[in-house]
Amino acid sequence: MPFRGPGLLVSLPARELAQSVPSGSLFRPADLRELPMSHELRSALSLTQQACTRNKVRLLVVARPEMFTHGVSLDWLRSRAPGIEDHLCISDGTAVRPIPTMRNHLFLYRLGSVDNAAAFARLSRCAPELLAGFHSQLNTSFGFRVGRDTVVPPTVLLQGTAKAKPSSSFKFYAHVDDPSLEASVQNILQTEVSFKAKSGRFSHLTYVPMTEAAAHDKPFAKKIAQAIRRSYADPARSVVLRLPRLNPSARIEQRLEAALRAVRAPDLDHPRVPQSSVLFVTEDPTAQALTALAAARDLLVHSSLEFWHHPAGYYAGFHMLQIVGSMASVSERRRVSELLNSALGRSQSRSEHTPAGTRQWR
């Protein structure tokens, strides 16, 4: 917990709350309970609240922190939040809004969205000093070029205990000759299966929690295609793909379409029947459900994965972890893999770094 003192100001992205901010610039987190917001933002806020409660830190939410530039407006804010020196900016990557004179911390969420990731990349390129000025970053390890240096605000890990959500499972069915993606999606929707019924059917499982950015990343798509191909050859091997979340209102058809676009590689000859060993799931299965499915389990993750929805223990049951993602530089790749290894409860002793990604054994 990087926050000191009696309290913490938290700001939320205006884009998500534009239609539904409670009255006033400052309010209690409880005032947000009934307001619509994305699952990821609610999780980030809830994690922050839990950490504050544990550490007896009072939490206040500030809307539109950019209003408090200096002078009278900033004094007004500080007088309404007496003694609070820390500000946590929870951002979807499209804008970050530090409050002058405070210790600012950054919590980025939904960078698995292609648009958000692109907006954040632009922010990093166009205003790196703004980002470099943050005192710490929660659950990310970004570096920002300032002059000749790369500034990396210290990373703080804050992981949650995600509650299992009801999930649907479908068999993979996406022949390359299907007339359209929509047709494939409709075919898949006909194949709903019970995840539980598959228990004990496989000896090996590769679990792939997808993000939208992952679906657009060719090296990652190639890795998934390889895993699927292996499952064709060996019926004891299974692949479970968690659909990318896209935006909060995305329908399952859209999520399936995004996933299919990634795995329908033209060089991969999918069978003309539903494939029982490859499953799509709408939510992360519990660790127990994954254990029941196969004794040996690997995890294939993209660098944009929001690992923090689960505690490190969730990932402990995986034998091998592969991190793949098109990242800008070697140093960035190393930082991401260090972060994920640490968050996913791995040591660095048994790892292998290749241009295609990082492999880490338990």
- For another protein, the binding residues (CB under 8 A) are 13-15, 18, 21, 23-25, 63-64, 66-73, 76, 94-95, 97-98, 100, 119, 122, 126-127, 129-130, 132-136, 143, 145-154, 329, 331
What is the smallest separation between the CB atom of 154 and another protein, expressed in angstroms? 6
Measured CA to CA, the distance from residue 169 to residue 164 in angstroms comes to 14
Dihedral of CA 273/279/282/288: which sign? Answer: positive
Select 18 or 197, whichever has its Cβ closest to another protein. 18
Residues 6 or more apart whose CB falls under 8 angstroms from that of 184 comprise: 173, 174, 175, 178, 260, 264
Select 135 or 309, whichever has its Cβ closest to another protein. 135
Select 203 or 331, whichever has its Cβ closest to another protein. 331
Select 131 or 210, whichever has its Cβ closest to another protein. 131
Measured CA to CA, the distance from residue 307 to residue 309 in angstroms comes to 6
What is the smallest separation between the CB atom of 205 and another protein, expressed in angstroms? 37
Select 73 or 161, whichever has its Cβ closest to another protein. 73
Measured CA to CA, the distance from residue 197 to residue 180 in angstroms comes to 30
What is the smallest separation between the CB atom of 163 and another protein, expressed in angstroms? 30
Token pair, residue 294, equals 């196969």
Q: How far is CA 95 from CA 8, 88, 98, 122, 217, in A?
A: 20, 13, 10, 10, 23
What is the smallest separation between the CB atom of 295 and another protein, expressed in angstroms? 41
Measured CA to CA, the distance from residue 161 to residue 144 in angstroms comes to 30
What is the smallest separation between the CB atom of 109 and another protein, expressed in angstroms? 16
